[in-house]
Every structure is written in structure tokens, then in C-alpha cells.
Chain A
Amino acid sequence: MNLVINLFAIERIKIIKNYLNQNEKVEVSKLSDMLNVSEVTIRKDLEKLETEGFLTRIHGGAVLRPKNSAVSFASQDTPVREENLFVEDHLQEIALIAVEMIEDNDSIMLTNGPINLEIAKNLHSKQNLTVLTNDLLIALELSRFPHIKSISLGGDTDFQSKATFGRLTLANMSHFYISKIFIEVDGFNEHVGFSVSNIDKATLIQEAVLNATSKIIVCPADCFNKTAFFKVGPLKIAEKIITNFNLDETYKRLICNNSIELFTSINLMEGSE
């Protein structure tokens, strides 16, 4: 009896490893269907593989742990902002919601920041898109897709954020009108409003919102109640806010009371299709 179960477990783990190597991610329910065992068993298997360092468990499934070699095109020879894996997950959740708001034939602007970079990475399914950005990494990322037109705003390049700012950028921007702007901010406080950590970025955003129909703020939940040094504007400049599910209740209430659409990344349904 014991032997049989052991053999099964070994078989299963082999299959899971193979599957992950091919697909990079997998859902618990799918494995359970595939191997005809309960989800409890699968979860145990994944736990084992996680301790081995082969994969990382996520909500409802697992992903292949990346090897040390270059992960994405942009990071090969350009320095990328350092984030740990946990934070990146949170940023990606926000980005995936933002992507759903973008329709074919839109012209959008992405200000510089890691969430907007995530958005850019997920735009390939859209058709006939025009993207305006001041972030060099975003422009670089988008240059991989032939069907997306990306316009990089020229100007002074900032060392830290790898983005362009300054009068030249502002002058360039005045040529365009955009239907949706995704603004990444670094802090929000009830009294101060939205704020960022760079004065040039603050000026850029203030100018950019004048040329946009729909203003969407993207901001991780832990940035609420933090204040960065440079003020961008009051809560009212936003039409939609996208943030994480764990946003504090007082802020949720505040945002709703100001009739702003609040999108949170509640990720409950397991699997897709």
C-alpha cells in the first residue's frame, strides 16, 4: 500500500515538473483534473516542490521559479528598478485590470513607473494602439510589438527612473491628445491629495491631464496614507482609481464618496476559461 502511493507521488511530481517547464504556470484545479487526484494531494505536491525551489505557489496554482538568466528583454542590459517578488505580484494585479480598460484603437499615455511597465508588457493582445510615454523602459518594451505604435517623449533623462522629463518633454507632449492616461503616483493623503517623489514628474502629470479625456490613477494600496514630497493634485483629478484589494476601508469610503470609480484587484476565481 505504502509503496503504491509513493510511486504515485513520484509520478505526479515528474508530470507536474514537465508541465511547468512547458507552460511556466499551472492551476491546482487543472492538475487535479489531469492527474485524477484531489486538490489536497496536488497542494501537498506543490508544497514539496516549493521547498525544493522549483516553483513558487500562487493563489490557486503555481508558477515556475525563474532561472537566474535574463527574464525579459528590457532587463538584459538596462538596470531595472529593484522589487522583490511579492511586490511585483501586487503591481501585476493592478496592471492586469488596467489592461482590461484599454480597447482596440485607443490612444493612451503611460507615465513612468513599474506598474505602467507591467501594463506595457501585457498590451500585445490589443490592436491598433498608440501609446505615448516618457518612460524609456516602456518604450523599449513596446518596441517589441510591431502592431503597437509607441511614441517616446524626448527630454532630459533622469538617471534613477530611466524616464524623460523637463521642458522639452512638456513641449513634445503638447502635440498629442490622448483618450486615456494612466498615472502612476507614489502617495496619497486625504489632505494633500496625490503626490510623487519627483518635481518634474509632478509637473508632467499636471500638464498631461489637461490633454486627456479619461484619467486613471494606478497606485498600490500601501501607498495610500503615505505622502511623497511633490504634490500632483487633489483626489478629484482622478476618474478611476485602480489599486490592490487590501486598501484600507476609510480610503475606500473616501473614494466612493467622491464618486470616483474604484477598481480593486480582488482575485478570487481560480483559473480561467
Chain B
Amino acid sequence: MSEYLLEVKGLSRQLGDTFKIENVDLNLLPQEVHILMGANGAGKSALVKTLSGVITGYTGEILLNQTPLKINSVDDAKSYGIFYVPQDIQLFNKMTVAENLFFENLDIKHKLTPINMNELYFKAKELFSEFQIDIDPHEKLGNYGLAQKHIIQILKAYVSHAKVIILDEPSAAFTDYESNILHSIITKLKSKYVGILLISHRIKDIYKLGDRVSIIKDGHLIATLDVNDSIEEDVILLLAGMPLANRYPKLHFKRGKELLHVRNLKSSDILTDISFTLHKHEVLGITGLAGSGRTLLANCLFGNTDYECTALEINGIKVNVTHPFEAISNSVALLPEDRESDGIIPSLNVVDNIAFTSLRRFSHFCLINYNILISTVKEYLKRFNIISSNIYNRPNYYTNGHWQKMFFLKWIMSGSKIFILDEPTRGVDIVSKVDIYNCMNNITKNGGGIILISSDFDEILGMCDRILVLSQGKLVCEMTQKEATKEKILQYATDNK
């Protein structure tokens, strides 16, 4: 009988009217990676949030090193040495990377001791070189992409000297390259006698990282299994109620004439010499590792970022897009990667959020005909399976998947033809995913063109007619759907490393 680092007995917590975590027994050994799996909404995040004090007021027992303890706040959990890394980014964009990294772990002996900034930067640099991460600690955090922020957030846990580290789906935003970094961080943590609870959706993670797997379904922990060769992939998946493999509903259309033509685009020393065309009825996939310039490219095309190029043609006509206004009037639409901060206007209700790009359609003698606007929005919402019991609600009452669908509606209503989708299905439940894919089919069918930017290679392979791979700001290859394989994409994406 080995000694558990963390032991949870009969943990229960009512969450909302219909959902609760019930009677969860969970334990964690030192030097162990314990993976939690389950479908979306099964209660994984709720469970670890309870353990880390984000959600309080639980019943049941939590023991750390055989001593019972009561966690009433995040501070409590941290003081006991339980460090929680949330699914979303909770860092400060305006501070430097190193400041973010050591924000909660400044080694100060006395309140008045000055902070040795040089030491912080040196430590950060050392850390990055140890894990071969290409991040400059002096740089402002806001200049980095989502995947790099995730890595910094995980490293924050690394430097915290916590005994128990909880990672909530760290690998969701990662390509294989970043997954390898995560892997080496976890291995290093294990050697320091840390216990890790890891929430993951990836089967690969189980074999690569896991020592034990627990499966959570509808708020119950239904099984804990040792990871060995006899673990049947299918059994885990069926238990967790997750898809065996992603299948993509993709309709192929005959390629139409040129919709968008970009030649020699250049921006902020990252993107160089980008040239491509997008045709009508086509989905063009752009993929690459984090930091390869995918999001920057999307922002350039939407006029969000300064750039230079020798030619930008939409529908065969030379245009100049230097501001989102010009992009919109040229029927370009962008669905941003960071939906929460760049996509939604939280202070407006659902109707206004959807309609504000297409107000011109509903105006008559300089007045907006609100009745028709509302009935149109309602019709759209119905057709996209968004329950609109109260359309005057703020968007934060809706799920991530619904938000994403609302963005589609917003741009479809304003008559956009060129859709730039930046990670459209990340963090979206499977039902909304299918709706989104079918919506993409509908757009391409009706003469639109889609640029799909994604780090999910399966999605790229499944949904795109043509695939471009970005590596360090350059387009390194172009393939058709038939030619492309995951290995090929990865090879091109990592080529000049």
C-alpha cells in the first residue's frame, strides 16, 4: 500500500439545478500523472476546480499527505501546494513574460526587499533554454500567440514549487511540437516528486504521459484504470462517450473563379512573401505550428494589422484593405481566435451582437426597422439551432459553441463572401462542431470562399480542399486534400527548425 499524495473521498457538489458531482473518490501518488477523461460537460473541470478552491462549498473529504484539509479559496489551495492551471489564459498581456512567470512566486524575504528583476529574467531564460522554448522573457506577453501563452502558464505552475499540479486541458491548443514541450515539462515535474492531475481529450496523451486514467461521466467517476498495453482504446472512448474518430461532413464543389488573390504579403518581420489565391466554392486550409504567423495573417487580411503587399485582389479587382471597415465593405469576414475578447460585445444582447454588422440592410430612410431586424435574427437563430428563448439575454448565457455560431450568423447576415475562420472549433462541443462544418458547406455551396486556420491537423485534412503550411512566416508548401497526410504537414511545418 503506497502512500497517496492527494486523496479525495466522497466529494460531492451541486452545480446548478440539474448537474452535480457526486461521490467522487480519487487519489494521486507522488510522481504520478493521473489523467482525467470524459466528454464535454461530464464534470472534469468542475471536479478540479473544486479541488483547487475555485468552486467552494463541497461536501466530502480531501486529504493531502494523510492530513485532512478544508479548501475554502484558491489561496487556501495554493498555500497547501495545490496549483491549478486553468483551461483559458489568465495572464497579464501588458507585463513581460518573466514578470508573468514569477508573478506568484517572488522570492522575497521581506515586504520591502526590492525585486531583483535581472535575476527573474535570468531564471526565465534558463528555464526556456532548458525546455528549448523559443520565447524571449523580456517581451510583452501580449505579443505571443495562444499556444505560447499556454506554455508560459504551465511553466508558471512549474516554478511554483507546488506538490500537486492540476492541468486543465493544456494540450487542446497544442500541435505536436508544443505537446513535446509539455511532455518534457511533465517528465521533469515527475522527477521532482510532484503529482499531476491532467485533463485531456487526447488518447495519445494517455500512452505518452499517463500512469493512470480516470473516466468521468455525468458527474460520477466511473472507472480508474492503470495504463498498460492492455488498455483498449475503444473501451476508454466508449466509457467516456467520446467519438472514436472525428468524421468530417465535407461536400466537394467544383472550384469557381478567383475570389481573393494575395501576392507577396509582408508584415511585422514575421510574415514574408505570402502569395496565394482563394477560389469560389473552396475551403483553403492554413496550418502551422504556434507562432508561425497564422493569426497574424488572418489579421492582415482583415485590415487589423499593418502590412505591405504588391497586390491584393478581391473578385479580380485591386483593393486596399488597411482597416476592418474596408475589409467588411469588400465582404471579408473574420472569426477571431480569441472569441471572448475580440468577437463578442458582452454589454449588448444577442440580437444586437448578431445584427450590428448588417444594420444597413434594415435601415429605411435613416431609421432602423427593428421589427424586421428582430424577426430576421430570430429566423436565423432558429435555422442554426440556437435556442432563443430570450434573445435579449447577454451572450454570456450561451455556450462557446453557440457564440461561434452567432459569429457565423453575424457575417452571413451582412452578406460576406470571404470567411476567415481562425480556430473555429476550438473549445466547441461536438454538436455545435457538426453544425459549424455543415454551415461551412452551405457557405461554399452558395459561392463563398473560406480560409480555415487551424492547428487541428485532422480538421484541416477533413474539411479543406487545398492546404497551405506556414512555417516561420513563410508558406512552405501547398497540397490538395488527396495528397495531404498528417505526417507531410508536420514535416513541412517543422522543416526549418
A103-128: contact bitstring with B at CB < 8 Å (1 yes, 0 no)? 00000000000000000000000000
Q: Establish whether residues B369 and A256, one from each chain, have CB atoms under 8 Å apart when the complex forms.
A: no
Q: Establish whether residues B380 and A268, one from each chain, have CB atoms under 8 Å apart when the complex forms.
A: yes
B375 closest partner in A (C-beta): A43
A269 closest partner in B (C-beta): B446
Q: How far is the CA of A58 from the CA of B406 in the complex (A)?
A: 22
Q: Establish whether residues A263 and B364, one from each chain, have CB atoms under 8 Å apart when the complex forms.
A: no
Question: Is A78 located at the chain interface by the 8 A CB criterion?
Answer: no
Chain A hits for B252, CB < 8 A: 100
Q: Establish whether residues A245 and B247, one from each chain, have CB atoms under 8 Å apart when the complex forms.
A: no
Q: Establish whether residues A266 and B442, one from each chain, have CB atoms under 8 Å apart when the complex forms.
A: yes
Known A261-B249, A269-B448, A272-B447; contact A253-B438, beta-carbon cutoff 8 A: no
Chain A hits for B409, CB < 8 A: 268
Known A40-B362, A252-B431; contact A266-B438, beta-carbon cutoff 8 A: yes
Interface residues on B, range: 35 or more
Chain A hits for B363, CB < 8 A: 38, 40
Question: Is B251 located at the chain interface by the 8 A CB criterion?
Answer: yes
Q: How far is the CA of A59 from the CA of B384 in the complex (A)?
A: 13
Q: Establish whether residues B447 and A273, one from each chain, have CB atoms under 8 Å apart when the complex forms.
A: yes
Q: Establish whether residues B442 and A271, one from each chain, have CB atoms under 8 Å apart when the complex forms.
A: no
Question: Is A246 located at the chain interface by the 8 A CB criterion?
Answer: yes
Interface residues on A, range: 20 to 34
A31 shortest CB reach to chain B, Å: 13
Q: How far is the CA of A267 from the CA of B380 in the complex (A)?
A: 9
Segment 220-255 of A: residues with Cβ below 8 Å from B: 240, 245-246, 249, 252-253
Chain B hits for A43, CB < 8 A: 372
Question: Is B434 located at the chain interface by the 8 A CB criterion?
Answer: yes
Other-chain residue from A97, A240, A268 in contact with B383 (beta carbon distance below 8 A): A268
Q: How far is the CA of A100 from the CA of B447 in the complex (A)?
A: 14
Q: How far is the CA of A268 from the CA of B430 in the complex (A)?
A: 20
Chain A hits for B241, CB < 8 A: 257
Question: Is A140 located at the chain interface by the 8 A CB criterion?
Answer: no
Question: Is A26 located at the chain interface by the 8 A CB criterion?
Answer: no
Q: A-contacting residues of B (Cβ < 8 Å)?
A: 241-249, 251-253, 361-364, 369, 372, 379-380, 383-385, 408-409, 412, 415, 430-431, 433-435, 438-439, 441-443, 445-448
Q: B-contacting residues of A (Cβ < 8 Å)?
A: 29, 38-41, 43, 59, 97, 100-101, 240, 245-246, 249, 252-253, 256-273
19 residue pairs bridging A and B, Cβ less than 8 Å apart: A38-B364, A40-B364, A100-B252, A100-B253, A240-B249, A245-B383, A245-B384, A245-B435, A249-B431, A253-B430, A256-B431, A257-B242, A259-B246, A262-B438, A263-B249, A263-B251, A264-B434, A266-B384, A268-B383
